[in-house]
Amino acid sequence: MSVFSFLFQKERRKNESEKATLRQQLYQAREENISLGQKIAALEAKQKRIEYLLSHRVKPNACCVVERTAKGVEVLSVVGAFDGSGQVEIEIFDLVAPTCSANRQLVLWAKKEPNASLYIQDIQGGASKGHGELAVNYLLILAKKEAVETIHGAISSVDLGHFDRLQAFYKKMGFEIMAGANGAPVGVEKKLLLTAIG
């Protein structure tokens, strides 16, 4: 093999190696471009969903937060203000839902009572993905701002079909399960420690 042939073969192998590297870089760039395009589309869809919810579902004087549940679901949490009758509504909307869907993943209704307590009227929805935990945490914040000493709620016969899950949830959130005379669960209660502000 001549020197020229040897150098030519060496240069050819080098070129083939560079071509393979460039092909790999091109492939990665295409993948990143697709991935980036998907991320941009997801962000645009999320923005449209938030805009839709803010204009069609969120009530005046409500506080809104875009956040993740403890289980990683991205949501819009909407905490209403107490109305004239002492009621408050806390709604949790998934942000991965269809843009124009007004459906919420979870809603919690509560009412202030004259004896420094807050009564949970109902919690609807949830899918064991952290929505209820967010809603109850916001309820606890509202309760502390309102100097509430006790939060309580009833367990209805409708709840008995999923009582094990409900019981685990309320215990996790620091509530006691209240039993009736026959030992059946009738309600939940949480005493709050009030700290002086000032």
CATH assignment of 60-191? 3.40.630.30
User: What is the pTM for the complete model shown?
Assistant: 0.76
The H or E element that residue 51 is part of is: helix 3-56
pLDDT digits (tens, 9 = 90+) for 177-194: 988 888 777 889 999 976
What pairs with residue 92 in β-bridges? 77, 106
Pair 76, 65: CB distance under 8 Å: yes
Tell me the domain boundaries of the chain: 1-56, 60-191
pLDDT digits (tens, 9 = 90+) for 134-173: 999 999 999 999 999 999 998 887 777 778 888 889 999 9
DSSP per residue, 53-75: HHHHTPPTT-EEEEEE-TTS-EE
- Residue 157's Cβ-count burial label (10 Å; 0-12, 13-18, 19+) is exposed
pLDDT digits (tens, 9 = 90+) for 58-94: 888 899 999 999 999 999 999 998 998 999 999 999 9
